[in-house]
Each structure stands twice: as structure tokens, then as C-alpha cells.
Amino acid sequence: MRKKMLRLFLTVCMAVGLGTTVNGAVAGTPDKGAADMLLEGGSRGEVPFPHRRHQDALKEDCATCHDLFPQKRGGIEALKAEGRLAPKQVMNKLCTSCHRQYRREGINAGPTTCSQCHQER
């Protein structure tokens, strides 16, 4: 029940964040996307993603992640379907490798194991 409530909460946050950002953006202001997102995580389940927290940690250097995939909803899934992005490529190249690097540097970082991110369906 708790996982379902978390998933519902994150989905609502994502929908509200995307609607506000896309429709309420001020001219000349970059679209930062939703503050929180729920990413497709394959057979291990969805991945709640604190987008704004990552933007803050990376000083809004969007290219850190978005050199690999586009800044649009469903971009990762589209690249996988086209065969241009290997399974686990985002997780291995970006997520866990970055979190491990931060930890080596003594900086508090995010999770590095599957079950810490992926939520059962």
C-alpha cells in the first residue's frame, strides 16, 4: 500500500510539475522540467527521480545527463526502442557511476544498488 501511495504521489507531482513548467513558463526562462519524475525502470520497476535535486547538485549543467538523451518526456524509452540506447546504459553510465564518484570524493550521494531506486510494480 505504501509503495502505491508513493507512486501515486510522485505521478501527481510529475504531472503538476510538467503542467506548470510547460504552460506557466515565462518567455526567456528555460524550461527546467518537473521537479520530480517517475522514470520507466524496465522489469525491476519504476524509478522515482528527484530531477530538481539533481539540477541543484549539478549546478544546472543539463548536458551532464542530456548529452546522452533528449530533454523530453519519453526520450529514454524512444532511444531504446530505436536501438540507439542500450538497456541499463543510463543507469550504468550516469546514475550509479556518478553516485559512486561523489562518494569516493566524500560527498553525500544517491543510491548505487537496484533495490534502492527501482520500485516494484
Q: For the chain, what is the radius of gyration of the CA atoms? A: 15
More confident residue, 30 or 74: 74
Distance CA 24, CA 18 (A): 9
Provide the pLDDT confidence category of residue 28 given band limits of 50, 70 and 90: low
**pLDDT single digits (tens) 95-104:** 999 999 999 9
Average pLDDT, the chain: 80
Indicate if the pLDDT at residue 117 is higher than 60. yes
Q: Please report, for the chain, the start and end positions of each structural domain, with discontinuous segments joined by +.
A: 2-117
Indicate if the pLDDT at residue 26 is higher than 60. no
Q: 37 forms bridges with which residues in the sheet?
A: 49
Residues 102, 108: contact at Cβ < 8 Å?
A: yes
Question: What pLDDT score was predicted for residue 29?
Answer: 57
Range in 27-36, 65-74, 78-87, 94-103 the model is least confident about: 27-36
Using CA atoms in the order 55, 61, 66, 68, what is the torsion angle rounded to 10 degrees? -120
Output the CA–CA distances (angstroms, integers) from residue 9 to 2, 20, 51, 77, 88, in the order listed.
10, 16, 15, 22, 26
**Residue 93 grid cell:** 553510465
User: Can you tell me the mean pLDDT for 49-58?
Assistant: 94
| 2-117 CATH fold | Cytochrome C3 (3.90.10)
- Predicted TM-score of the model (pTM): 0.69
Question: What pLDDT score was predicted for residue 15?
Answer: 42
Residues 65, 94: contact at Cβ < 8 Å?
A: yes
